[in-house]
Every structure is written in C-alpha cells, then in structure tokens.
A = this chain, B = another copy of it.
C-alpha cells in the first residue's frame, strides 16, 4: 500500500505499528484466500469446515445444538443456520430432535462428513505450514 506516507503527515500513530498491521492484514488475507480456494475445491467453505471441526472435536458427545456451535464459532445465527442447512442437504450433517428442548436439534457428522473432514486436514495444515515458511 501507499498508506504509509500518511502516517507522518497526520502525525497520528506509530509508523512501525501501522506498517506491521498492514503487512499482517495482507498476509492474513493471502492465506485466507489460499485456504478458501482449497475449501472450494472440496465443495466446502471456511465456515463449513469449522462446523465439521467443532462437532468432531467435542469431547463428551458426538453432536451439538446449533446454538452451541454458535457459541463456539464467532458467526451470526442466520449465517450458521444457512450453512447448517446447506450441510444437511449435502449430507455432511444429520439433525435429530433434542430430548430436552423441543425447539432444539442435535447436529452430528454423517460418515460423509467425517470422511470429508479427515480428507481435508492434512493439506489444510500443509498449506498453512508452507505459507508460513514462505513468510519467514
């Protein structure tokens, strides 16, 4: 960017901090783009991947309510709703009635969901690791 020149002109904030921040945002968005492309290749998205992860990694149980997923992932209710719906249609999740609350449902991974997650993980980490090596 050419934003840096402003910092001195306005006299607000430290040049270093701003440069670091801009460089960090640039790196992060590059990496996010790489990962998004990878997810798209697998007919997924960041958020769908995280939904799989968050259910899979739950220690005591193998299913969660939508609201519980919402608490774990920083995303709005409508977006999660839409994403979960799409994942149900795609056969990655199954939904069963919640025993304790008739408004709620439990969401669990299907075999396809588990398989998809397992298939993505190695290259997910590989992409990140290689990117970070390139950054150094």
Contacts and interface: CB of A to CB of B under 8 A. Distances in A.
Candidate in A28, A126, A133 with the most chain B CB atoms within 10 angstroms: A28
A47 interface: no
Contacts of A20: 132
A7 interface: yes
Nearest to A27: B24
B131 A13 contact: no
Nearest to A136: B17
Given A17-B132, A17-B133, A27-B24, A6 B125 contact: yes
A121 B12 contact: yes
Interface string A1-44: 11101110010111001101110110111011000000000000
A129 B18 contact: yes
Contacts of A13: 125-126, 128-130
Nearest to A118: B10
Interface in A90-136: 121-123, 125-126, 128-133
B129 A12 contact: yes
Contacts of A25: 28, 31-32
